[in-house]
């Protein structure tokens, strides 16, 4: 039991040291998957395979992936992590985003792996086993299936076709779905190549006959719950299930005249026009078409350059490791012409293109820099002219303001002069008024002094008079002598006396009766 557990334990992948001109080992019955500008190749039947089945060693050997960097043509071997599948041959593979899905396959000792779905993340290079929610509803065939990715109503699905049935795998829910198949009979399909056209359709080329053009061609249209399976080219009928497989490989090309299928294998290279439904032979070297159970992938470098990458083969009892690159060109009539490159020739061609592109980019950058420089100069000239214009406008405005201020200053100066004149005139008036007031004051002072002297004299006189009165009073009081001047007779007659009339008189503030003794 312990020995069995050790055998089932995943072996750690040990990467080989980097090699400048590295090329993958010979192999066949493998697949290549394009993700971005990189071609990923995994598994395949190799000449150095173990003579006996050993899970631990086979899992270790399957823990590597070969990566072809298409812009440079450089191969690189990278180790993976996780639990890789053991079905390294005759599996089906397709990419959705940065994840490559693998289904089925078998090991090189004809020990079938389970019908399990795996995935490899190309960013982390980590394997995972995709566990469906209903595995009993999935495909039963473990190898020689076809698989493509579709997007139905905005949702990602895997479509797996096995002889006689079609299955959907819904990525979001991990659910197997058996769609309804309408159209032609699918039960007679055994060996085939399945190629995606767009998100909801595909082309299926049967692979039952020695001659490629004798095979049926079908179109498949996928909806959420059904598949329409229709034949667009009728080849030769197959009466019984073939006991011998003609492992041709095919890809789809988007030509100016429409979609074309290109198939290579069994010393043949032909194209099938999807619109015209006719086959045409394509001239390629024997080293390209003398292959079986190899891999084909299409890379659209740009709008004018399309490459087909071919790797591995089984021909004449031997497997090969050379990588062939087919540069696809289209004639005026819509036919295909092919120029073939070896790996070294492709690397040199891409180097030339890269240098040409770099030179073109450099020249373009220089032109752009020169244009930008000229634009900057023009912009600076425009800015300088604009600034000069603004400066001239500001100068005119400032001159206008200066003139206005000068006029205002002159007006203010004129007003100030007038006010100054008024002030000086007022000052003179005030001085005259002050002088007049001073004169008046002097006059009043003089009058005051004179009045003061006069009052002083009056006071002195009054004082003398008072002294005189006091003296007289003293004399009167002492001698009872009344001064006649102190008596003021009135006209009121009281009566007649012995010597005259008695009248009312005032004497020292008193009303008295007095009689004048003389008239």
**Binding region for ATP:** 515
Exposure string of 105-138, with b = 16+ CB inside 10 Å and e = fewer, is bbbbeeeebebbbbbbbbeebebeebebeeeeeb
Instruction: At 256, list the tokens.
Output: 């100016």
Binding-site residues sit at: 515
- DSSP H or E stretch at residue 336: strand 336-341
Query: Which of 191, 240, 217 is closest to 92 using CA atoms?
Result: 191
Dihedral angle of Cα 232, 233, 234, 236, to the nearest 10 degrees: -140
Other C-beta atoms lying within 10 Å of the C-beta of residue 459:
12
- Three-class SS of residue 333? coil
User: What is the spatial distance between Cα 267 and Cα 152, in angstroms, rounded to a whole number?
Assistant: 38
Instruction: Check if the beta carbon of residue 234 is closer than 8 Å to that of residue 219.
Output: no
Look up residue 513 and give its two tokens.
């009766």
CA distance 438 to 431: 10
Q: How far apart are CA 405 and CA 137, in angstroms?
A: 97
Q: What are the residues whose beta carbons fall under 8 Å from the beta carbon of 476, sequence distance 6 or more? A: 482, 483
Residues contacting residue 329 through CB under 8 Å, at least 6 positions apart: 336, 337, 338, 339
Q: How far apart are CA 335 and CA 265, in angstroms?
A: 20
């Amino acid at each position: 039991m312990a020995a069995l557990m050790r055998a089932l334990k995943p072996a750690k992948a040990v990467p080989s040291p980097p090699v400048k001109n590295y090329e993958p080992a010979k192999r066949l019955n493998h697949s290549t998957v394009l993700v971005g500008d990189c071609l990923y190749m995994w598994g395949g039947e190799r000449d150095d395979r173990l003579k006996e089945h050993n899970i631990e060693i086979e899992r270790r050997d399957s823990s590597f992936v070969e990566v072809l960097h298409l812009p440079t043509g450089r191969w690189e071997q990278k180790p993976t992590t996780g639990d890789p599948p053991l079905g390294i041959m005759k599996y089906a593979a397709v990419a959705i985003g940065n994840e490559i899905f693998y289904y089925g396959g078998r090991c090189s000792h004809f020990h079938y792996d389970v019908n399990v779905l795996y995935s490899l993340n190309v960013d982390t290079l980590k394997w995972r086993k995709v566990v469906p929610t209903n595995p009993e509803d999935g495909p039963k065939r473990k190898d020689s299936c076809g698989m493509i990715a579709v997007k139905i109503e905005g949702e990602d699905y895997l479509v797996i076709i096995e002889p006689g049935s079609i299955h959907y795998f819904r990525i979001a829910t991990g659910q197997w779905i058996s769609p309804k198949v309408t159209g032609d009979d699918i039960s007679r399909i055994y060996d085939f190549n399945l190629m995606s056209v767009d998100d909801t359709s595909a082309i299926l080329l049967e692979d039952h006959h020695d001659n490629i053009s004798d095979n049926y061609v079908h179109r498949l249209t996928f909806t959420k719950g059904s598949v329409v399976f229709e034949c667009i080219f009728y080849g030769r009928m197959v009466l019984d299930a073939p006991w011998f497989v003609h492992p041709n490989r095919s890809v789809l090309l988007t030509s100016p005249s429409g979609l074309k299928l290109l198939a290579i294998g069994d010393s043949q290279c032909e194209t099938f026009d999807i619109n015209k439904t006719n086959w045409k032979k394509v001239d390629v070297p024997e080293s390209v078409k003398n292959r079986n159970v190899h891999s084909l992938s299409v890379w659209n470098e740009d709008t004018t350059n399309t490459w087909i990458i071919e790797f591995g083969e089984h021909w004449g009892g031997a497997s090969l490791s050379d990588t062939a690159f087919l540069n696809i060109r289209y004639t005026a009539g819509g036919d295909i012409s092919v120029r073939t490159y070896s790996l070294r020739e492709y690397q040199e061609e891409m180097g030339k293109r890269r240098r040409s592109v770099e030179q073109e980019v450099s020249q373009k950058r220089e032109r752009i820099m020169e244009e930008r420089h000229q634009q900057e100069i023009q912009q600076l000239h425009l800015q300088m002219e604009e600034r000069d214009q603004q400066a001239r406008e500001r100068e005119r405005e400032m001159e206008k303001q200066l003139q206005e201020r000068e006029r205002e200053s002159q007006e203010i100066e004129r007003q100030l002069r007038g006010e100054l004149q008024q002030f000086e005139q007022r000052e003179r008036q005030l001085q005259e008024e002050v002088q007049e007031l001073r004169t008046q004051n002097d006059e009043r002072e003089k009058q005051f002094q004179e009045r003061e002297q006069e009052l002083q004299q009056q006071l002195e006189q009054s004082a003398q008079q008072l002294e005189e009165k006091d003296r007289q009073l003293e004399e009167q009081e002492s001698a009872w002598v009344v001064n006649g001047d102190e008596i003021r007779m009135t006209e009121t007659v009281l009566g007649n006396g012995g010597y005259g009339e008695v009248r009312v008189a005032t004497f020292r503030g008193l009303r008295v009766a007095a009689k004048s003794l003389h008239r």
